[in-house]
Amino acid sequence: MPSPAPGLPEIRNVILRGLPSKDLAMLRPHLHSVPLVMRQVLHAASAPIDHVYFMEEGLTSLTASAGEAAEVEVGLVGREGLVGTGVLLMTGATAVHRAFVQVPGSAYRMQSGTFRDALSQFESLRDGCLRYVHFMMVQTAQCAACNARHGLPERLARWLLFSMNRIESDELPMTQEFLSYMLGVRRAGVSVVANGLQSEGLIRQSRGRIILLDRAGLEAKACVCYRLVEDSRARIMEVPSEHKLGTVQYGRDCALSGIDNLRS
């Protein structure tokens, strides 16, 4: 990891890290670091988006409504991304989805108006954000295909791996109840499948926590969607311009911190 500029906290967000330092310096005064607390709603569905959030840590979930009290997840945002993409795409945009915090963390927040001004001024920012929109489309589309064709075990494995990659941890603070909600299935169904994974030694669960024990094993359980989306992320988001700050590739050959003392 490169050390931060003196006096300034290090930036972890992949989009911001991809900006030329000159541009970043000019944007900096408008980026306010805010904590993200559990269940916090960053924007509601069909409501105006008043801030965008460059994720620094934690995990945010985007959901679409499938009728009465049935929300299904259509995207996950970690430090590679931005919550509030609607602002990029349309003046006075109201949100397509609901965005809420799944795993607490922090983000750099910017007012939507300021963000729009910044977009027209900085090509680097525009490029980085549009690139991220591209990735989000891949993610959502693959989610659609996966929901149509793949069984619960494969989808659950995919979701666990993808989420853990987003927060760069082998431990996921998440109840089965919530998981079922995100996948659009029954809670009891998740219970059965998760137990299967546990008895195969791939994960370990305890009330509201899921711990990865065997990454390779879980990847073998997941459907191709996992690999497709992760590879897309690497291709789309890990651009040459980020080289100067170093690159992180998770999920392929990068050992995550702490994986060893969790094994067994």
Nearest to 154 by CA among 226, 221, 74, 218: 221
Radius of gyration of the chain (CA): 18
Q: Please, which residue, 61 or 112, has the CB nearer to DNA?
A: 61
Tell me phi and psi for residue 201, to 5 degrees: 80, 20
Sites of contact with its own copies (CB under 8 A): 62-67, 70-72, 74-75, 85-86, 88-91, 93, 96-97, 127, 130-131, 133-134, 136-138, 140-150, 183-185, 223-225, 228, 232, 236
By rule CB under 7 A, what count of residues binds DNA? 22
Out of DNA, its own copies, none, which partner does residue 5 contact, by CB within 5 to 8 A per kind? none
Q: Are 194 and 204 in contact (CB under 8 A)?
A: no
Contact yes or no for 215/160 (Cβ under 8 A):
no
Of 179-198, binders to DNA (CB under 7 A) are 184-189, 191-192, 194-195, 198
131 binds, among DNA, its own copies, none (CB under 5 to 8 A by kind): its own copies
Q: Provide the CB-side half-sphere exposure for 105 (13 A, CA).
A: 28
**CA gap 123, 127 in Å, rounded:** 6
Q: Does 68 bind DNA (CB under 7 A)?
A: no
d(CA 52, CA 15): 13
Per-residue 3-state assignment (H helix, E strand, C coil) for 112-166: HHHHHHHHHHCHHHHHHHHHHHHHHHHHHHHHHHHHHHCCHHHHHHHHHHHHHHH
> Could you say which of its own copies, DNA, none residue 151 binds, taking C-beta under 5 to 8 angstroms by partner kind?
DNA
The only residue of 152, 211, 228, 239 in contact with DNA, by rule CB under 7 A? 152
Can residue 208 be called a binding residue for DNA (CB under 7 A)? yes
Q: How far is the CB of 162 from DNA (least distance, A)?
A: 18
Shortest distance in whole angstroms from residue 73 CB to its own copies = 8
Question: Residue numbers of the site for DNA (CB under 7 A)?
Answer: 151-153, 175-177, 184-189, 191-192, 194-195, 198, 205-209
